[in-house]
Structure 1
Amino acid sequence: MATMKDIAKQAGVSTSTVSHVINQTRYVSDDIAERVNLAAKQLNYAPSALARSLKMNRTKTLGMLVTTSTNPFFGEVVKGVERSCYQQGYNLILCNTEGDEQRMRASIDTLLQKRVDGLMLMCTTLECQQVMDFERYPDIPVVVMDWGPTVDVSDKILDNSYQGGMMATQYLIDCGHKHIGCITGPLSQHQALNRLQGYQAAMQQAGLVIKDEWVIESNFECEGGYDAMNTLLACTSQPTALFASNDMMAMGAINAASKHQVAIPETISIIGYDDIRIAEFMTPALTTIHQPKYRLGKAAVEAVLARLQSADAKPQMIKLEPTLVERHSVKSLC
């Protein structure tokens, strides 16, 4: 591999001059700079990322921790993170915690050993709170994304889940439904609780009764939605509409309804949450609340880089607002 010394020899200049040209640390005449750059190109010279990181005290690398899930939601967020890193000239190291505390600790150690410039966390609330002692890393910007704890020492970027829960339920009400159930995610997680609270607020504002047996806590996975729908169908009465707190559970619920020959939306209408890519290709195509996943990832990268530029800035909370996407899984009774 060619070195600066090799370039200097071929270009007929000193090694320090080569360094100034490549690192742009001092003015060098156009003629000499052209000779140096031509020699570097002919020798296929590649600057040492390690040497540069030691000199600048930056590695141009960000780390991201993601909780395990089969939910495509995570992949769509990571896509936004990865593309934004690329556009900003940064590399990304992605670690999947697999929901395991020991693996999460090992992943954090690995990222710190790699001297990442900043961390983005998208792990469940309990995972992060059990493992992360944020004050131990005062020199490393930490951004907590939608799936994660709310802490005072880091930037927080999240979807307005409360508003989204209200929006989903209000849409069902506006379609004439009065008997509405809800499949929630794990209520230990803030976004699941906020979506449930949004559902409750919309029902109360409309003067509608919330039947406890129609509100079922689940796990944000297809299997959870499947089991929840089976539980609902075993009740003495069923709702005419159902708010599933994410699209994966909505998919599982539709599958269970199909096996019981319960027509969607003719018998039970279903609205989901997230608007994952496959939602529009389901049968029926899923009406859902769109969460801006790409912008969530992009905003996380921008927050980390802003923190690197201004380490003393106060932690900020950025809310991304959800929107309604109408498709074919909700029947209007009006």
Structure 2
Amino acid sequence: MATMKDIARLAGVSTSTVSHVINKSRFVSEEISERVNKAAQDLNYAPSALARSLKINRTKTIGMLVTTSTNPFFGEVVKGVERSCYHKGYNLILCNTEGDNERMRESINTLLQKRVDGLILMCSSLEGERIDVFEKYPDIPVVVMDWGPMLFTSDKIQDNSLRGGYMAAKHLVDAGHKHIGCITGPLVKHQAQMRYEGYKRALNEAGLEFNPNWIIESDFECEGGYESFNKMCDKGTLPEAIFVCNDMMAMGVIHAANERGIRIPDDLSIIGYDDIHIAKFMTPALTTVHQPKYRLGKAAVEALLNKLDGGETEPQVVQLEPTLVERKTVKRM
């Protein structure tokens, strides 16, 4: 592999001149620059990323951990992270935790040993966890996305799930529904709890009853939505409308309803949460609450780079606001 010394020998200049031309660190005449660049091209020279990272004490690499899930929500957020990294001249190393705490800790260790400049964590299993390894790397900035209380120092990027849950249930109330159920995510998770609290706030505000048979805790997966709807059916009379706390579960609910001959929205109105890309292609197209997934990813990268560039030192919380997307699964009474 060619070195700067080889280029200097071929171009008839000093090694420091080659360095200035390649790194654009000082003005060099056009004639000499052309000779150096021609020599580098002839020798198939490729700058050493490792050597440069040691010199500037940056690897220009960000590590990201995500919980593996069939939910496209995660992929859409990762897309925002990856594209933002690309535009900022950074590489992204992505690790899946498979929901395994031990694998999560090993992945964090591996990324830190590879000298990533910062970490983005999007793992539900982190909630309430203390990660001791961060104490060994106090200068590595960490951004946590979308999850609840953490026992380590980090910036936090999240959507306003309380407001989103309220918006979803309020939309059903405004459509004239008076009997409204809810299929929640795992209520030990902060975001699931906040969406449920928003649902309760909207019903309380409207003076509507809570029927315990119409409130089912689930798991944010298609199968969970499918099983939860069948469980609700087995308990007796169905509500007029259901707030399903993410789009994946809403897909399962619609499938289960179709199997039972229940028409959406004629017999039952459904509203989801997340606005994943395929939501508008469901039949009927899903009314849902839009999470700004791309902006979540972009905000995480910006918060991390702000820390790296010596910006705000205290942990920051960036909250992005959800919006309602009306489609075809809510009937106006």
* TM-score normalised per structure 2: 0.96
Per the alignment, residue 63 of structure 1 pairs with 63
Distance (Å, rounded) in 2 between the aligned partners of 1:143 and 1:42: 43
Distance (Å, rounded) in 2 between the aligned partners of 1:179 and 1:325: 21
Per the alignment, residue 290 of structure 2 pairs with 290
Runs of 4+ aligned structure 1 residues displaced above 6 Å come to none
Tell me if 1:192 matches 2:195. Answer: no
Per the alignment, residue 10 of structure 1 pairs with 10
Distance 1:148 1:66, change over 3 A: farther
Per the alignment, residue 127 of structure 1 pairs with 126
Higher deviation after alignment, 169-178 or 13-22: 13-22
Q: State the Cα distance separating 1:247 from its structure 2 match.
A: 0.1
Distance (Å, rounded) in 2 between the aligned partners of 1:277 and 1:25: 45
| Matched-pair contact (CA < 8 Å) for 1:101–1:131 | no
Q: State the Cα distance separating 1:127 from its structure 2 match.
A: 3.2
Distance (Å, rounded) in 1 between the aligned partners of 2:311 and 2:150: 19
Distance (Å, rounded) in 1 between the aligned partners of 2:195 and 2:20: 56
Distance (Å, rounded) in 2 between the aligned partners of 1:148 and 1:203: 24
Q: State the Cα distance separating 1:152 from its structure 2 match.
A: 6.5
Map residues 81-96 of structure 1 onto 2, 5 A cutoff: 81-96=81-96
Q: State the Cα distance separating 1:242 from its structure 2 match.
A: 0.3
Q: Which runs of 5+ in 1 are unaligned?
A: none
Per the alignment, residue 106 of structure 2 pairs with 106
Per the alignment, residue 226 of structure 1 pairs with 226
Distance (Å, rounded) in 2 between the aligned partners of 1:167 and 1:58: 43
Distance (Å, rounded) in 2 between the aligned partners of 1:137 and 1:115: 10
In angstroms, what is the RMSD of aligned CA positions? 1.4
Q: Which amino acid aligns with 1:127?
A: L
Distance (Å, rounded) in 2 between the aligned partners of 1:187 and 1:35: 66
| Matched-pair contact (CA < 8 Å) for 1:104–1:131 | no
Per the alignment, residue 137 of structure 1 pairs with 137
CA deviations on 1:73-115 (whole Å, 9 max, x unpaired) are 0000001111111111110000000001111111111101111
Map residues 1-334 of structure 1 onto 2, 5 A cutoff: 1-124=1-124, 126-130=125-129, 132-133=131-132, 134-147=134-147, 149-150=149-150, 153-310=153-310, 313-333=313-333
* TM-score normalised per structure 1: 0.96
Distance (Å, rounded) in 1 between the aligned partners of 2:83 and 2:98: 23
Higher deviation after alignment, 260-269 or 306-315: 306-315
Distance 1:151 1:160, change over 3 A: farther
Higher deviation after alignment, 101-110 or 154-163: 101-110
CA deviations on 1:191-222 (whole Å, 9 max, x unpaired) are 10000000000110111111122111100000
Distance (Å, rounded) in 2 between the aligned partners of 1:246 and 1:279: 10
Q: State the Cα distance separating 1:314 from its structure 2 match.
A: 1.4
| Matched-pair contact (CA < 8 Å) for 1:105–1:131 | no
Q: State the Cα distance separating 1:312 from its structure 2 match.
A: 5.6
| Matched-pair contact (CA < 8 Å) for 2:184–2:215 | yes
Q: Which amino acid aligns with 1:303?
A: A
SS at match of 1:283: coil
| Matched-pair contact (CA < 8 Å) for 1:135–1:153 | no
| Matched-pair contact (CA < 8 Å) for 2:129–2:151 | no
Distance 1:312 1:73, change over 3 A: closer
SS at match of 1:249: helix
| Matched-pair contact (CA < 8 Å) for 1:123–1:148 | no
CA deviations on 1:285-313 (whole Å, 9 max, x unpaired) are 10000101011111111111001011662
Higher deviation after alignment, 58-67 or 314-323: 314-323
